[in-house]
Amino acid sequence: MARTNKRALGMRLQGKIAVITGAASGMGKAMAQMFAAEGAKLVLADISGDQDELAASLGDAAIAVYANVADEGDVQNMIALAEKTYGRIDILCNNAGFGGGMKMLHEQTTEAWDMVHGVNLRGVFFGMKYGVISMMKTGGGAIVNTTSASGMVGWKHHSIYGAAKAGVNQMTKTAALDYANHNIRVNAVAPGTIWTGLVPASKQFPAPPAGAPTLAGIPMNRWGLASEIAAAALFLASDEASYITGVILPVDGGYTIGFSGMGAENKGCS
């Protein structure tokens, strides 16, 4: 019998159950739409309320849940809802993020530190903790964390944000080691500067608005698209990446390999 080409059929996640945090907009929304198109059933988590509309637009492919990832109880409820509805979790995308605190280090406040790290680091910790507990009960799965290029190289005014994302990178690698024998793969996507607004149907990148980060440090000379981050997450979540774990995958137009230091005005790293 000929082998079914799931990629050609657009069904790389057929029969998979995926939980996506920060799903209501930007990169999370792009992941949700792409994963649904590839056959996944979804639990879409966010705090905005827009996750309800997104889930409705995807029909019976998705359900929505309110979840503040910095709240341990909310994350537990999110995972429990996925288990109750679908019986298991195959894929967890810890995508929710908060880009605040863009100041020089001596200007930062304890409140800013707590808020940025609460969502970007504490939230990923909770997601991974309860995600792996669930996956270990059902034979394994794949976790994809959204980190950032600013967790890999220095970026002016990103001291606390970059520290949080560097922490995600380290947790990703360590968890990959800890859970490999449980058939759980743990990887991360590290976006560079990503345009999350509307783009033309031609997918040509629009002109950056006034005050936007320059393209000087990006070898490919353009911003990335939310769909390009979603495509990377889809690959890492799919069986096509079955022998890949512990990877921090930059999706940044070559920014991190060509890094030469960027000006203080460049505050748009994801």
Task: Just list the catalytic residues.
Answer: 161
Residue by residue, DSSP assigns 58-112 as TGGGEEEEE--TTSHHHHHHHHHHHHHHHS--SEEEE--------S-GGG--HHH
Chain-centre distance for alpha carbon 86: 22
Coil vs helix vs strand at 242: coil
- The closest alpha carbon to 90, from 30, 47, 38, 24, belongs to 38
Separation CA 49–CA 166 (nearest Å):
29
For 63, list phi and psi in degrees, rounded to 5: -125, 155
The values of phi and psi at residue 199, to 5°, are -125, 150
Eight-class DSSP state of 43: E
198 Cα distance to chain centroid: 19
Instruction: Look up residue 57 and give its two tokens.
Output: 């637009």
Distance CA 8, CA 221 (A): 31
> Which class for 77: exposed (0-12), middle (13-18), buried (19 or more C-beta within 10 A)?
middle
Tokens of 204: 């040509």
3-state SS, residue 17: strand
